[in-house]
Chain A
Amino acid sequence: MDENLLEVKNLKKYFRTKHGTVHAVDDVSFTIKKGKTLGLVGESGCGKTTTGRAILRLTEPTSGQIIFNGRDICTLSKRELKKARRDMQLVFQDPYSSLDPRKTVSQIIAEPIKANKLIKGKEQIDERVNSLMQTVGLAPRLFNTYPHELDGGRRQRVGIARALAMEPHFIVCDEPVSALDVSIQAQILNLLKTLQAEMGLTFIFITHDLSVVNHFSDDIAVMYLGKIVEMAPSEELFSNPRHPYTQALLSAIPVPDLSAKRERIIIKGEIVSPIDPPDECRFYKRCSYACDACRKTPQLEEVCPGHFVACNRLEELGNLNTVK
């Protein structure tokens, strides 16, 4: 039961620019078990979307291994990759720009079915599209509407139906609810959760919204400037964050509850450039605990089962936190 569906090892994605090499994803490793959700959190530019895209080889990884269902995706030929991708789909962030404005809802959902010649015959395809629309909660009357006639929530449902068309086992959801209002956001989150329970889907859930990721994920990996700084089961991460960045990030969430006034950690400065980063902790310049020991790149260490942290001052800080 508990087998790994996806295993990412030392994934790197560098972009060469005229200013130097951007280390967008720098040595990222994680595994996801079948039917589970890994939340990938971090701020703009931390490499979470690039990681998601590299896993599907939508951007070619610079190096590393992506073992999906026992096969290394990186070594597949074009034809094999096309086959493998049926099993791994993507739901995009922006439901406004990710749907072709000149196609109707049914054409959009049918496109992957036709492209992969999964089902033949117009009637059979229409039938399949109808059942997909029902699965994601789209009324049958929307069959021949165009995306511009739909609101954000319904568009995102179309995007999800399109991703489900190939009956994938694995879906990368790239900020699927960030463009939506809270009440609609809740509808889509519930839909994704129900689909996961019914179809046994495995998700990578990319987001910058920590309350959403906590609600949705089994495990959470926090990224900062191309590296995973902390990774743990959701409850563990929220109750016992160990990395200074995670602590600051968690304390920065505004909570709609008056009894929960807390001490907020405000980190100084802003994210630094990911171009040719020096050999030091990526959080060094903003960290309030930084010292000379931080001037080498920290490695992920397991502090308790399943909980990994990359911080050079972990032991000292661990003591600090318990004292506080």
Chain B
Amino acid sequence: MDNNLILDIENLVVRFETDDGTVRAVNGLNLQLEKGHAVGLVGETGAGKTTTALSILRLVPDPPGVVECEKLLLDGQDIINMPIKDLEKIRGKDVSMIFQDPMTALNPVFTVGEQIAESIFLHEDVSKAEAYKRALDMLELVGIPAERANEYPHQFSGGMKQRVIIAIALACHPKLLIADEPTTALDVTIQAQMLDLIRSLREKYSTSLIMITHDLGIVAEICDEVAVMYAGNVIEKGTLEDVFNRTKHPYTEGLFNSIPNLNDRKVMLTPIKGFTPDPTNLPPGCAFEPRCPYACENCLKEQKDIYISDTHFVRCSRYEEDGFSIDRKEIQ
């Protein structure tokens, strides 16, 4: 029935068992992504965005990490029970990841051409020479002259390094690309170049995309859907229109109100009060309850996903009440 899903996660739990207690990074997360779609995973530091992404690749360090879930299917294949040998065939081929920091993600002692060719050589049945030739094509594709293939990462600027990383990630035309804050370390004009590049390559290869970011602006630019994360859970998910124009969760509302508005600079910002909860000591029930302006007693019980429409769900028990709604100040 779900042949159309590139990714199907049900009830994902990741915790890190450390000497100082158990860090509950991801707590019963559900996420589905249709083939060819792009979802933005939004949230603040410590919301569990990167941990979720690493779980999909089974790269969560173990120990101290413990990953449990009911279902983790990537294009129909069960990732969670897969032997390491098979996993290695999938990583970089079916699913690849772009990391946040282009300065440290490349190996300093190999040329960029070799690093792109390595991924092709490992996954496709080609000779080394053929792989290198395809690496040159990839470089050209991401806008770097092929002559620079025999240069080392330190000879490239941040934006150029990120282009190389994108080239490595897309070298084997993965079905799913996970981009973990790919532009956070870059300047705005370079960020614009990168987003443009990712968008055009995604169209070319019809790759599905998980874009991890804290910038709702980037999500609006490049994604079809948004999943907002808080304390290890997706607390609201829907299409761009659902989440941006019909915001349901109080935390999502708080996020929007925290962003300076380009068109109205006189208003004071309305920040969310308080701080993100300590993942070793999460509050019972809704993790946002202590900071939420709409909190009531019911928020202390366990939360369920409540579907507003086919595409839009929110994890907030107040929507069980009739007539509860949030009116976000409209951005003019």
A183-B44, A258-B220 given. 10 additional CB < 8 A pairs?
A181-B276, A182-B44, A183-B254, A193-B268, A212-B260, A235-B265, A255-B217, A255-B220, A258-B245, A267-B192
B331 in contact with A249 (CB, 8 Å): no
8 Å CB interface, A281-315 against B = none
Looking at chain B's contact residues, the main secondary structure is helix
| Contact yes or no, B271 A234, CB < 8 A | no
Stretch touching chain B among A7-15, A25-33, A184-192 = A184-192
* Cα separation A249 to B215 with both chains bound (whole Å): 17
- Would you call B189 an interface residue if the criterion is a C-beta within 8 Å of the partner chain's C-beta atoms? yes
Give the secondary structure class of A's interface.
helix
- Residue A44 CB within 8 A of the other chain: yes
Given contacts A181-B214, A208-B187, A257-B331, contact A189 B260 (CB under 8 A): yes
Contacts A184-B271, A253-B217, A256-B244: A214 and B262 contacting too (C-beta < 8 A)?
Answer: yes
Contact: A181 with B220, CB < 8 Å? no
Chain A residues at the B interface, C-beta cutoff of 8 Å: 43-44, 151-153, 181-187, 189-190, 193, 208, 210-212, 214-216, 234-235, 238, 248-249, 251-258, 264, 266-267, 270-271
A208 to B269, CA, bound (A): 19
> What distance in Å separates the Cβ of B4 from its nearest Cβ neighbour in chain A?
25
**How far apart sit A211 and B188, CA to CA, in the bound complex (Å)?**
11
Q: Out of B44, B195, B196, which one reaches A181, CB within 8 Å?
A: B44
Chain B residue contacts of A252, Cβ below 8 A: 188-189, 191-192
Complex CA distance for A252 and B259, rounded to whole angstroms: 17
Cα distance A59–B70 when bound, in Å?
58
Q: Which residues of the partner chain A approach B261 to less than 8 Å between Cβ atoms? A: 211, 215
Contact A182 B240 (CB under 8 A): no
Cα distance A256–B255 in the bound complex, in angstroms: 11
Instruction: Assess whether B188 is in contact with A210, with CB atoms less than 8 Å apart.
Output: yes
Contacts of A256 in B (CB 8 A): 215-217, 219-220, 244, 256, 259
What's the least CB distance linking B238 to chain A, in Å?
Answer: 12
Min distance, Cβ B322 to any Cβ of chain A, angstroms: 29
Interchain Cβ contacts under 8 Å between A and B, 6 examples: A184-B271, A186-B259, A216-B260, A249-B189, A257-B220, A270-B157
